[in-house]
Structure 1
């Protein structure tokens, strides 16, 4: 198991560098690549997902006010996800030969912990007998946005992994795959907690005049 950073020491005192003005950017370790490189797409999409998770947390704080204990549990799980997403982004922003021995990693224990969180919520849910649609409340809809962005991130990571010497750790792919399932379960779970009906897919829906 890698040694975790408990208090990284660095200072960011300048936002722009002008070094990317011609469409190139630097990876961790200094390698320069095009900004539309698949590796950039991977960790850029994880960054996008992290922003959506942050937005979802704020929706949860509004929609789940009536169930503070459940709200706190779900927020804690999502904040943990945010840190893991940042770690995963750091890994994907680094070429295999530039990985630092103490660089935070996604590990099997993180996947197992996520699976426990999923099971804890899923075990309390009613059986799913139809496909469901995003909706019912803002927090549920936001969870589905997270789920779909997570799937897009996974597709990019799988594409990167096909490249020779890409060095994508298997645990990263597993974690992101499991995470989209988590968002689905959490969206259902929060609806149950606040007694909001899920939107069930009706394949025979007709237009009304």
Structure 2
């Protein structure tokens, strides 16, 4: 269990922070950038949940809020995964890592939402409803997190499911954005060359 008695420790005043294993690293290290981007994605989803939490029981908003609640917990798991460098001989049961079941849940949710949507015939602009706009914002923040984790994975070992999770999450948030626009009925489609 996590227990934080003090928030201000002054431990980072010289531009360093600690990983989960106690290793001190610079705050601009790739690993810290990746963890920070995942945290930003979680915060963006928190903003989206300000809208989805208002949904009545059984509504699309309420269903979305339940999915987003699970995702926010997953993103904390992902942060915990990233803060512990992968050891070549580690026992997977001894570390909190993103696991295939979490990806499979995202994939199942995407498939279920997508089954309710019309086929896309154009790119979708962020907007329509407030919930959809926030979902698209969260998607772009999740993509930035994915890029940061990919950069980290190019420099040192990372749990491959961590990268996969962020890729699936971006897909999830894209489909969720469409789904939150009246299951596609009120989404805003790109009209190429409109303002030429």
Aligned equivalents of 1:83, 1:119: Cα separation in 2: 21
The answer on 1:205 being equivalent to 2:185 is no
- Secondary structure in 1 matching 2:68: helix
Q: How many residues align?
A: 194
Structure 1 counterpart of 2:70: 80
**TM-score, normalization by structure 2:** 0.92
How far apart are residue 192 of structure 1 and its match? Answer: 1.8
How far apart are residue 68 of structure 1 and its match? Answer: 4.2
The answer on 1:33 being equivalent to 2:25 is yes
Map Cα deviations across residues 131-177 of structure 1 (whole Å, 9 max, x no partner): 010011111111111111111111111111111xx221111111110
**TM-score, normalization by structure 1:** 0.86
How far apart are residue 92 of structure 1 and its match? Answer: 0.7
Which range is displaced more, 176-185 or 196-205?
196-205
Unpaired runs of at least 5, structure 1: 1-8
Map Cα deviations across residues 31-88 of structure 1 (whole Å, 9 max, x no partner): 11110111001011101110111110111234x55x7432221111111000111001
Aligned equivalents of 1:102, 1:86: Cα separation in 2: 17
Aligned equivalents of 2:2, 2:189: Cα separation in 1: 48
Contact 2:77/2:98 (8 A) holds in 1: yes
